[in-house]
Structures are given as structure tokens and as C-alpha cells.
């Protein structure tokens, strides 16, 4: 019988293929994200049973069905809350959360902010297409000003959220942006996000070829500039990261904006977890402890 180490060393792309093929539209940016995640897991050689992929609802949230890890396809906007509970109950697992911009920044905005300040140890990948796809094309929290959609046919009059600035402000300890059209670069960011101990936020431009005719591959390609190509950029500098996050237009930075490693993860900060994952603990309260609980009341 193979040891777990040997099994892990055998992990290939084929092992990570899900039970069914994605039903995304041909050309959807999410295909690239799925492939990059699978590649990253192969390169990191994490056994599939130790990975849990958790999503909310939306096109990109169908992701867990297309990858062969443990998976949870939860409620619209709630993936991060579910993931935090799961990670705290078994912090030995590698947790990936996947979803879209509506799911994460709209209906799930509250959990997004609080998961970051808690520094829950997981990688959150948002496939950001700046539109609601599965509901057939409405304005999303990242749709640009003026963009015409079915829900705002005369153009969006609400300013979009800036996910990178928001994540920096909320205390995320790893903040990055990728582009589905830059596979190698994206795979590298995913690997670093998984390896980072704490909340890793990865916003990925993942064009919607059906409903977003503004922010297309063609639109992004000449604009995206890798932060890694600028040797003077220091991703440990929060202020520099915040300044970079404000760039938008002719030049849009992608890559790792920020990382700090001096903050305890949520599971690392709670002494209750010192004895190992909760899921492996005995359910019974020791008799002497139980007695002390009752004694307090007499």
C-alpha cells in the first residue's frame, strides 16, 4: 500500500479532474482559473482529500463541481463564513474559496470584510467579470461607471468597489490580482496564496464573453502590467500597495500587491486549538471539568 507521501507525489492533473466538465460558456475566463488552480495543486502536491474547495452561488461558484477535491457548493455570498467554520473545526485542511464579484463583494460583502480582519487561513479567489452572469447580465459591484446592463440600461451611476483597496483596508495579509489570460503568472499567485499563512485574497480578471462586452480579453491584455516586472516594488509596503491599488485605466497592475507574515492566523491565535484540530478531539468533557462547571452553580 502506498504511503500518503508516495500517493501525494503521484498527484497529476488527471487526478484533479472533476466528475463533470464545466458548463461555462465557451471562452469564459473561469476555465483559465480552474486550470491554474489544478496546476498549482499539482505543483504543491497537496493530496486531494486534504483540500476543500468552497463556493457560493453564481457561474464561477460552480467551480467545486469541476475539481476533484472535497467540495462545498454553499449559498449565495456565504462561502467565506462556511469556510471559516470548516477551517476552525479542522485546521489541518487546505481551504480554497472560489466565487464571483457579485457573490463576494455584493451579497457576501459583510463576510468578506470580516474574514479578512480575522485573518482566516484560506485562499479566496474571486473570478471577477464585473457583471452578473448566471442571472443573465446585471450590474455587479465591480461594473464600471456608465456600463449599460439589463438592470441599468441607461448606464451604471454607482461607483464600483475597488476590491484590492478594500482588502488592504480590511487587513488582508496577502492581496493579489491575476488575469485569466496570464496562466503561468496566475498559477504562481495561487501557489503563493495557498502557502501564505492567513487570509489570501486573489482577485482575478476572468472575462465574461457573453454579457460583458466592455472588459474583454482584448481590453485587458494591453493594460495589465505585472508588479513582479518592477524590481523596485516592495510588496511588504502597505502604503505602496494602497497607492498601486488605485491605478486603473491605461495601466492596470496585476501580481502580488501586498503580503505580511507577522499576523497570527485565526486558528493560530486561539489556544483552544493548541491540542490539534477539533474534529479529532474526544467529545466528552473530562469528569473533573464537568464537576467544576456544576460546582459553580451550587
Residue ranges that bind another protein, judged by CB under 8 A: 1, 4, 7, 15, 17-20, 23, 47-50, 52-54, 57, 62, 64-65, 68-75, 78, 81-90, 92-93, 110-111, 113-114, 270-273, 275, 278-281, 283-285, 287, 289-290, 292-294, 297-298
Min CB(117)–another protein separation in Å: 10
Measured from the CB of residue 17, what is the shortest distance to another protein in angstroms?
7
Q: Find out whether 125 and 98 touch, Cβ atoms under 8 Å.
A: yes
Considering the complex, state which of residue 161 and residue 170 has its C-beta at the smaller distance from another protein: 170
Cβ–Cβ < 8 Å for 250, 173: no
The three three-digit cell numbers of residue 158, written as one number? 454607482
* Nearer Cβ to another protein (86/224): 86
- Closer residue to another protein, CB minimum distance, 84 or 204: 84
User: In 151-286, which residue ranges form alpha helices assigned H by DSSP?
Assistant: 163-170, 183-195, 217-220, 238-245, 266-269
Query: What's the CA gap between 104 and 109, in Å, rounded?
Result: 6
Please answer whether residues 249 and 221 qualify as being in contact, where contact means their C-beta atoms are separated by less than 8 angstroms.
Answer: no
Choice between 108 and 178, CB closer to another protein: 108
Q: What minimum distance in Å lies between the beta carbon of 249 and another protein?
A: 34
**From the CB of 219, what's the least distance to another protein, in Å?**
28
Q: How far apart are CA 250 and CA 258, in angstroms?
A: 22
**Apex 184 CA angle, 79 and 160, nearest 5:** 45
Q: Toward another protein, which CB reaches closer, 159 or 283?
A: 283
Amino acid at each position: 500500500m502506498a504511503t500518503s507521501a508516495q500517493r501525494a507525489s503521484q498527484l497529476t492533473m488527471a487526478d484533479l479532474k472533476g466528475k463533470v466538465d464545466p458548463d461555462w460558456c465557451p471562452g469564459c475566463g473561469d476555465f483559465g482559473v480552474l486550470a491554474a488552480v489544478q496546476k498549482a495543486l499539482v505543483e504543491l502536491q497537496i493530496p486531494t482529500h486534504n483540500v476543500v474547495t468552497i463556493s457560493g452561488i453564481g457561474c464561477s461558484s460552480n467551480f467545486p463541481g469541476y475539481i476533484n477535491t472535497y467540495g462545498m457548493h454553499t449559498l449565495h455570498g456565504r462561502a467565506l463564513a462556511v469556510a471559516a467554520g470548516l477551517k476552525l473545526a479542522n485546521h489541518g485542511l487546505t481551504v480554497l474559496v472560489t466565487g464571483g464579484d457579485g457573490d463576494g463583494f455584493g451579497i457576501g460583502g459583510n463576510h468578506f470584510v470580516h474574514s479578512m480582519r480575522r485573518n482566516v487561513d484560506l485562499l479566496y479567489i474571486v473570478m471577477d467579470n464585473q457583471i452578473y452572469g448566471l442571472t443573465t447580465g446585471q450590474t455587479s459591484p465591480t461594473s464600471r461607471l456608465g456600463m449599460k446592463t439589463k438592470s441599468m440600461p441607461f448606464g451604471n451611476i454607482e461607483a464600483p468597489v475597488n476590491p484590492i483597496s478594500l482588502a488592504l483596508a480590511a487587513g488582508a495579509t496577502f492581496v493579489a490580482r491575476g488575469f485569466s489570460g496570464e496562466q503561468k503568472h496566475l498559477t504562481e499567485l495561487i501557489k503563493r496564496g495557498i502557502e501564505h499563512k492567513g487570509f489570501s485574497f486573489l482577485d482575478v480578471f476572468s472575462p465574461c464573453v457573453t454579457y460583458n462586452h466592455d472588459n474583454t480579453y482584448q481590453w485587458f491584455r494591453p493594460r495589465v502590467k505585472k508588479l513582479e516586472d518592477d524590481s523596485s516594488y516592495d510588496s511588504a509596503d502597505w502604503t505602496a500597495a494602497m497607492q498601486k491599488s488605485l491605478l486603473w485605466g491605461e495601466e492596470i497592475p496585476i501580481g502580488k500587491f501586498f503580503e505580511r507574515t507577522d499576523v497570527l492566523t485565526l486558528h493560530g491565535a486561539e489556544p483552544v486549538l493548541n491540542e490539534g484540530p477539533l474534529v479529532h478531539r474526544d467529545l466528552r468533557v473530562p469528569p473533573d471539568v464537568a464537576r467544576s462547571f456544576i460546582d459553580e452553580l451550587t
